Amino acid sequence: MKNVKLIIEYDGTNYCGWQKQKNNITVQGTLEKALNKATNERVDAIGSSRTDAGVHARGMVCNFITSSSIPAERFREAINRHLPSDVAIIKSEEVEESFHARYSSKGKSYSYTIINRYENVVIGKNFCCQVRENLDIDSMKMACKYFVGQHDFQAFQSKGSSVKTTIRTIDELCIEKEKDTIKIHVTADGFLYNMVRIIVGTLIQVGKGKIKADYVGNIIESLDRMKAGPCIKANGLVLEKVYY
Amino acid sequence: MKNVKLIIEYDGTNYCGWQKQKNNITVQGTLEKALNKATNERVDAIGSSRTDAGVHARGMVCNFITSSSIPAERFREAINRHLPSDVAIIKSEEVEESFHARYSSKGKSYSYTIINRYENVVIGKNFCCQVRENLDIDSMKMACKYFVGQHDFQAFQSKGSSVKTTIRTIDELCIEKEKDTIKIHVTADGFLYNMVRIIVGTLIQVGKGKIKADYVGNIIESLDRMKAGPCIKANGLVLEKVYY
């Protein structure tokens, strides 16, 4: 028996998120089918994160236990053979028995892409959120500072998940703009349910002038979901990397 | 009667190119259907370029003559209402009677995206050509110099088009690399059939070490299509801008 770790890239557009569902096509379900074909076993894939419908990944991590004789490094090709073109194994390697894609994770990085222009977006539309009103990028950058560090992020969590604590540490939250593309990068030791999308939703409100940059500290302190911005749409979000 | 100029963005993935065809879905055909609905007329859309199947555009230009009472600037919204999500009008404006999207053009810019890595590409796969072998970007940059300027580009033309002259002037050909993404930008007064894709195909051969950078001048001089690299696949190509 060996424990195999996979790094997976996927275009989440046509999936109902990561987690297996009975009647919907999900990334985990699709991957497990491919795993079963590659190993001739019934294999459970343990994912690092349960990305929502429409969210993408460049660096989703998962692990599975197998008694297959395929060398761990060969799993990449062996599984890719059975995957559709919107999911690909980037790397496969053997890891310690104790490695668990979810519980061993020490941190994660996400990116979020906003296209800020009035004209309809066509190229890349499944990988961004379009904002037609002009965003003040300097205010958004100022607002970022309040998020960095250890905070109780209860105000930035959607209902529907139970976690022991809503305290998380954001190591980095930065924004870069090139032409009409605004890219937000965020790294933390972990994220609450919809946390990145609510942070980005709040930053957009700041960019529109509806929330003042220096009020963001108060929103965090309030622990009040109603004070933060909306949960912005899923398809601008990419799980970039999981740290162990 | 007025002459209306449109700037159009499209994702060419699901189209058999720009030019109208009887039994296939094309961008021109799709646009004309939308134009007919918006104007209640039978309108011919004159395109600046006949992009091939799978080629995209951020700045395709077209013009049409109409007697519709819709103000020219309003055509953007009026036409967008009838277009699928992979085609969008970015701008509409009235132009002089003599303006012709194709014959008035003074130059064009294209971009071409290569993803240079071994691992399968998922995100953005319809907008790039993947090259798995490591490309030597410095040699490719050196090779670019030979293309710039006025040359007879007969060696960089696919069969199937009749043009008066195969002499063109390339104003700029540059390459930038960020992580595994190589982006090539090219601007010329005009392009022969498949010219950008054959230039990129040749640059890739240079990057692989199969053609020496300083041999590129000889290929151009030879006027021999057989000496140049292959016509690389369409979907890395984007028509960025047309100059008038």
Mean per-residue pLDDT for A67-71? 95
* pLDDT for the residue B161: 79
- Which residues face A108 on adjacent strands? A188, A242
Mutation choice for A interface testing from B123, B125, B181 by most A CBs within 10 A:
B123
Q: What percent of chain A has pLDDT over 90?
A: 98
Residue A64's nearest CA partner among A13, A28, A90 is A28
Mutation choice for B interface testing from A86, A123, A176 by most B CBs within 10 A:
A123
Mean per-residue pLDDT for A143-159? 97
The beta-carbon neighbor of B122 closest among A9, A120, A125 is A9
Residue A5's nearest CA partner among A69, A50, A48 is A48
pLDDT tier at B13 (50, 70, 90 boundaries)? very high
Question: Are B91 and B74 a contacting pair, CB within 8 Å?
Answer: no
Give the closest-approach CA distance of A155 to chain B in angstroms.
31
The two beta strands, B129-131 and B107-116, are: parallel
Give the closest-approach CA distance of B51 to chain A in angstroms.
16
Say which CATH topology domain A107-243 has.
Alpha-Beta Plaits (3.30.70)
Question: Are B108 and B186 a contacting pair, CB within 8 Å?
Answer: no
Strand, coil or helix: A163: coil
| Chain A residues with at least one Cβ partner in B under 8 Å | 9-11, 56, 58, 76, 80, 85-91, 119-125, 127, 238
A119/B85 touch (CB, cutoff 8 Å), yes or no: no
pLDDT tier at B154 (50, 70, 90 boundaries)? very high
pLDDT tier at A242 (50, 70, 90 boundaries)? very high
> Which residues of A are part of a known binding site for substrate?
110
Question: Are B131 and B232 a contacting pair, CB within 8 Å?
Answer: no
Any known ligand binding at B110?
yes
What is the C-alpha separation between B112 and B186, in angstroms, rounded?
Answer: 8
* Candidate CATH numbers 3.30.930.10, 3.30.70.580, 3.30.530.20, 1.50.10.10; the one for domain B2-95: 3.30.70.580
* pLDDT for the residue A83: 98
Strand, coil or helix: B209: coil
* pLDDT for the residue A61: 98
Q: What's the token pair of residue A162?
A: 């139970």
A80/B124 touch (CB, cutoff 8 Å), yes or no: no
pLDDT tier at B93 (50, 70, 90 boundaries)? very high
Residues of B in contact with A76 (CB under 8 A): 119
Q: What is the pLDDT of residues B206-233, one digit of tens each?
A: 999 999 999 999 999 999 999 999 999 9
pLDDT tier at A162 (50, 70, 90 boundaries)? confident
A85/B122 touch (CB, cutoff 8 Å), yes or no: yes
- Domain spans in chain B, listed from the N-terminal domain onward: 2-95, 107-243
Whole-angstrom CA distances from B15 to A85, B18, B23, B120 are: 19, 8, 12, 24
Residue of A nearest to B13 (CA): A123
What is the C-alpha separation between A170 and A109, in angstroms, rounded?
Answer: 10
The beta-carbon neighbor of A123 closest among B56, B80, B125 is B56
What is the C-alpha separation between A5 and A99, in angstroms, rounded?
Answer: 8
CB pairs under 8 A between A and B: 59
- Token match 């939703």: residue? A201
What is the C-alpha separation between A169 and A163, in angstroms, rounded?
Answer: 15
Residue of A nearest to B124 (CA): A124
What is the rounded end-to-end Cα distance, in angstroms, of chain B? 22
**Average pLDDT of the residues of chain B:** 97
B80/A120 touch (CB, cutoff 8 Å), yes or no: yes
User: What are the backbone angles phi and psi of residue B93, rounded to the nearest 5°?
Assistant: -155, 155
| Chain B residues with at least one Cβ partner in A under 8 Å | 9-11, 56, 58, 76, 80, 85-91, 119-125, 127, 238
- Token match 């640059």: residue? B203
Mean per-residue pLDDT for A129-141? 98
What is the C-alpha separation between A23 and A70, in angstroms, rounded?
Answer: 31
Least confident segment among A37-41, B145-149, B158-162, B195-199: B158-162
B90/A119 touch (CB, cutoff 8 Å), yes or no: yes
- Check for a shared fold between B2-95 and B107-243: yes
Q: What is the pLDDT of residues B17-47, one digit of tens each?
A: 999 999 999 999 999 999 999 999 999 999 9
Instruction: Check whether A160 has a pLDDT greater than 90.
Output: no
- Token match 């047309």: residue? B242
The beta-carbon neighbor of A122 closest among B9, B76, B121 is B9
Three-state SS string across B100-159, please?
CCCCCCCEEEEEEEEEECCCCCCCCHHHCEEECCCCCHHHHHHHHHHHCEEEECHHHCCC
pLDDT tier at B166 (50, 70, 90 boundaries)? very high
Residues of B in contact with A10 (CB under 8 A): 122-123
Is B52 assigned a catalytic role? yes
A9/B86 touch (CB, cutoff 8 Å), yes or no: no
A123/B238 touch (CB, cutoff 8 Å), yes or no: yes
Q: What is the pLDDT of residues B127-136, one digit of tens each?
A: 999 999 999 9
Mean per-residue pLDDT for A48-59? 96
Residues of B in contact with A11 (CB under 8 A): 122-123, 125
B123/A85 touch (CB, cutoff 8 Å), yes or no: no
What is the C-alpha separation between A105 and B69, in angstroms, rounded?
Answer: 62
* pLDDT for the residue B81: 97
Mean per-residue pLDDT for B65-82? 96
Mean per-residue pLDDT for A232-239? 97
At CA A25, angle to CA A20 and CA A30, rounded to 5?
70
pLDDT tier at A198 (50, 70, 90 boundaries)? very high
What is the C-alpha separation between B27 and A134, in angstroms, rounded?
Answer: 30
B9/A85 touch (CB, cutoff 8 Å), yes or no: no
Quote ipTM for the complex: 0.88
Residue A78's nearest CA partner among A36, A43, A48 is A36
Mean per-residue pLDDT for B188-197? 97
At CA A19, angle to CA A16 and CA A20, rounded to 5?
90
Question: Are A155 and A225 a contacting pair, CB within 8 Å?
Answer: yes
pLDDT tier at B160 (50, 70, 90 boundaries)? confident
Residue of B nearest to A86 (CA): B122
The two beta strands, B149-152 and B46-47, are: unpaired
The beta-carbon neighbor of B123 closest among A9, A122, A123 is A9
Mean per-residue pLDDT for A166-179? 97
